[in-house]
A and B are shown apart, each in its own frame.
Chain A
């Protein structure tokens, strides 16, 4: 009793709002730059071999150009929305699949639950990148394939999150009341149990986007993800890798952009987590 009273005095009212604000500004700024580049600046795929490997601040190229004369700044700016939209798509798909499977497993229990938990183990045991690599041998490279590939290993944490919540919530009073009132199983599941998980799912999803962005850039860096004409930051870093000693800017700038993007989405995620006072252990 007393310790509860003591803790009351420690929490501040607007937990996480500083992170939220910083993250939102950063992300908003990046999106605006990217949209500006998409609408008003020339296609970065345009090659100009006579302008290859120009250093920053030369010939009207703020971030310089790569070996094929492509403008690094425009490429970076456009890459922001590519990364973000892949991140969003993967998060949406895997959240949807994960919630459905997790809710089903948690509510019915029994074999479905056991199968899910073993899948969780499996997902932790085999690094996602290894699956991506193996899958890239047999799947063709398109935005759709990359998204499905990333989503196919990303849904498991959502399912685990929902399952854990459902297991707790289904024993609570209001679920029993709904059951007594004659609400059917599906009605209870989607009318009561899934909404109860909404907050942790949103928080996890906001932290997950950064991870997806990093994964996509890794795949593209290895030449197993996106390739031109799709504008991917990871692809540009892979181009810069070969020129590292002679043209450092090609690999450096797209990496900085990725860091900014991930930091921005993570800030929003951290802010949301603090705002809703979720235990960080639940999120890891």
Chain B
């Protein structure tokens, strides 16, 4: 137990203390790049009142939801294939998916700018094939581009979470379901879906939280319709200099994430899917 002491001390000083100070900041009065007393709720009121924040929050939620839904929907069949397919390709694909997780975050964003830009790969390929005369303008600097880049970043995580979720579902269970008359849709609806509900929701939450709080992707491929709350929070600290407002806004985001997490737990419990024990 003593062995944990150095790490505990380090985490207390460099993690707990920063978070605590951050929370305190959100209740202080703003000065330019500084704070002062008295303690108030002004920053929270301002964060909630700001029409800009509301628009950006809606953007964040929509883009976050879209990214999470797309990631999980795409990851489900991939994880299914990884779990139940046979042969050596399975290992290769698993390796490739995991490896892609370690392709740099910034590089991915840049890669999609290269792909989707006005003179990007997609447009120039379509043009050289003669399918279009002028570059498609709707590919980049909007929500679509942000969502594509975010799905690209988080898909490997979603696949691995779901792959782990599929692990305890033995092929025998699916055979038993089929033997009892369940076709492929019924097997999915009545066996697979309830059994991967918990990991699928974890993956969903994971992608949603990290997408909705992203502040880098929108800056490079989001244009004006793809701006998100994280960009504004970052601006409060770096260019506007209103620390309490930025802190309050981000803590409200965090509160929303926690609320979403709790809602999912309650939903799983009500569906009695929170404590499935595999034998």
A and B form one complex:
no
User: Could you list which residues of chain A lie within 8 angstroms of chain B, going by C-beta atoms?
Assistant: none
User: Could you list which residues of chain B lie within 8 angstroms of chain A, going by C-beta atoms?
Assistant: none
